[in-house]
């Protein structure tokens, strides 16, 4: 996670498999980021190889928390296989998904 004075957005990077076993660890790491109530949370999924239903639920919880705080959540860098999971679950219509960091920041 990184922020700078010039760019107050938080960039949170996920890696590997986002599944039932990793969800609690990720949730704990996200909690202080969400608590900062930044205007945008940019989530880098470029290193995510797989996401299961518990991982999707975690992202939905994150989206709801960020929106409750008045912010937005933007996902970027999804691989074709991860993007397909979002598409099948119709979550590509719920999340703001961008191809890369530059597009997510714009």
For residue range 14-42, what is the model confidence (pLDDT) as tens digits? 999 999 999 999 999 999 999 999 999 99
Residue 7 reports pLDDT greater than 90: no
> pLDDT tens, 48-77?
999 999 999 999 999 999 999 999 999 999
* Burial (CB count <10 Å: 0-12, 13-18, 19+), residue 41: buried
Which CATH class, in words, describes the domain spanning 10-105? alpha beta
Length of the chain as a residue count: 106
pLDDT of residue 105: 93
- When mean pLDDT is compared across 6-10, 44-48, 83-87, the lowest value belongs to 6-10
Looking at residue 6, its pLDDT comes to 45
Mean pLDDT of the chain: 92
> Crossing angle for the helix pair 23-35 and 53-68, nearest 10 degrees?
10
CA distance 49 to 31: 23
């Amino acid at each position: 996670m990184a922020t700078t004075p010039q760019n107050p957005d938080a960039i949170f990077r996920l890696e590997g498999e986002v599944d039932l076993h990793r969800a609690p660890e990720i949730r704990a790491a996200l909690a202080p980021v969400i608590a900062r109530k930044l205007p945008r949370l940019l989530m880098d999924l470029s290193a995510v190889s797989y996401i299961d239903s518990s991982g999707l639920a975690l992202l939905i919880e994150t989206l709801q928390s960020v929106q409750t705080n008045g912010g937005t959540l933007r996902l970027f860098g999804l691989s074709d296989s991860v993007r397909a999971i979002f598409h099948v679950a119709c979550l590509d219509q719920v999340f703001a998904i961008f191809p890369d960091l530059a597009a997510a920041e714009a």
